Amino acid sequence: MTATISDTLLDWYDAHARALPWRAPPGAPPMEPYRVWLSEVMLQQTTVAAVKPYFEKFVATWPDVAALAAAPEEAVMAAWAGLGYYSRARNLVKCARAVAGMGGFPRSEVELKRLPGLGDYTAAAIAAIAFSERAVVVDANVERVVARLFAIAEPLPGARRAIRAQADAITPDTRAGDFAQAMMDLGATICTARDAKCLLCPLSADCAGRASGDPLRLPVKAAKKAKPKRTGTAFWIERAGEEGGETGREVWLVQRPGTGMLGGMRSLPDDGWSAKGDGHGEPPLQGAWRAAGVVRHSFTHFDFELSVVAYAGDSTQPEGKGEWWPVKTIEDAGLPTLFAKAARIVSA
């Protein structure tokens, strides 16, 4: 049964593999480790459609790991803006510098896990896809396929041990990278979270979930807890630039602390809100402020409402570090999505 599942799936993958910029065609020599690593980091909790333009921009700007290692962290953070989960970008730079110092990526799953920002999944994926090492690769798509294939009814996260064991049992000794990508493609296109296209699935004959009559109930997930709600305020401080007039508008931007929410990113000043509590800090300038709008944004662990207020007086430079940025090129500032939304409602 094990050989049947892997052989059947690889035959399906040879005919139906998705063409992706970080992927070698089925049966071809592996893609270079840099591209595999970069794509896997970007794809964590992010869709393929969202990642494609970011991946292409990164490899055009920094074509190899040495180039990325030499890049200023703030430039990488700015290029990452909008992709979310910004700790990934900080770890990306740390990892690139570590790999460059080693002279290249290690091949084994164990050694890869020692690199900054690489967990079990990412290390296994790089080992299998970039180096053709046998490794058990389990992401959310693979987790769903395996849970249905073997009708693993224990609720998550407790079911993950059984899911990994079954994934290990069907992972072949050869073409482990293609097999891992085949499982990902099956979960992304056929055995999806909202649909089980069993008539199109190459593994339907062996699927215990399909035989049960209700594959969509698997994997069983624990009830979601309601997200807490947080509130904060962002401050828009504007002045006329050297050009003068409307085209010369400039806005005061700051760099957030290196750790914490949106760490190291360029942003509007705010009142000190965090994932743990609402903002209560003082505005950076004393005087009159006017309401400019409200931005709503959902983070992983909380929902957020950001009130945006604009300074109504003569804008002198606030105390502390920051920079004046031309409003007409605010999209080039690399603001994270939350603050990019805030900028749009004021600068429109």
Query: Which residue in 134, 140, 133 sits closest to 48, CA to CA?
Result: 140
Biggest CA pair distance of the chain = 75
Whether the CA torsion 309, 315, 320, 322 is positive or negative: it is positive
- In the residue annotation, 40 being an active-site residue is answered as yes
- Which of these is catalytic: 32, 40, 246, 305? 40
Q: Which amino acid is at 344?
A: R
180 — alpha (psi -120 to 50), left (phi > 0) or beta? alpha
* CA dist., res. 288 & res. 246, Å (int): 22
* CA dist., res. 317 & res. 226, Å (int): 41
72 CB neighbour count, 10 Å cutoff = 9
Return the residue matching tokens 């509007």.
268
Report strand pairing: 303-311 vs 289-298: antiparallel
Give the catalytic positions in this structure.
40
